[in-house]
């Protein structure tokens, strides 16, 4: 278990690994979210382009 004060931080190797794993999961989710955003934005813009060229 970790015990923390303002100036000192002491924790076990297990706790450090747990936190690293949480950070890795957060990074993975962020990358996945970025991929989804780029994909969805691409679809929206392609559709807008098609609509514009069709004169709708």
State phi, psi for 3 to the nearest 5 degrees.
-120, 130
CA nearest to 24, candidates 34, 32, 12: 32
32 is a site residue for another protein (CB under 8 A): no
Q: Is 11 near another protein (CB under 8 A)? A: yes
Check residue 46 for interaction with another protein (CB under 8 A).
Answer: no
For residue 39, state whether it binds another protein (rule: CB under 8 A). no
Q: Cα separation of 27 and 21, whole Å?
A: 10
| Residue 36 lies near another protein (rule: CB under 8 A) | no
Which of 28, 32, 35, 41 forms a contact with another protein (CB under 8 A)?
A: 41
Q: Tell me which residue has tokens 């069709």.
A: 54
């Amino acid at each position: 278990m970790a015990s923390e004060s303002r100036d000192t931080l002491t924790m076990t190797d297990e706790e450090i690994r747990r936190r690293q794993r949480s950070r890795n999961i957060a990074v993975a989710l962020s990358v996945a979210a970025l991929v989804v955003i780029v994909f969805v934005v691409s679809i929206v813009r392609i559709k807008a382009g098609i609509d514009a060229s069709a004169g709708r």
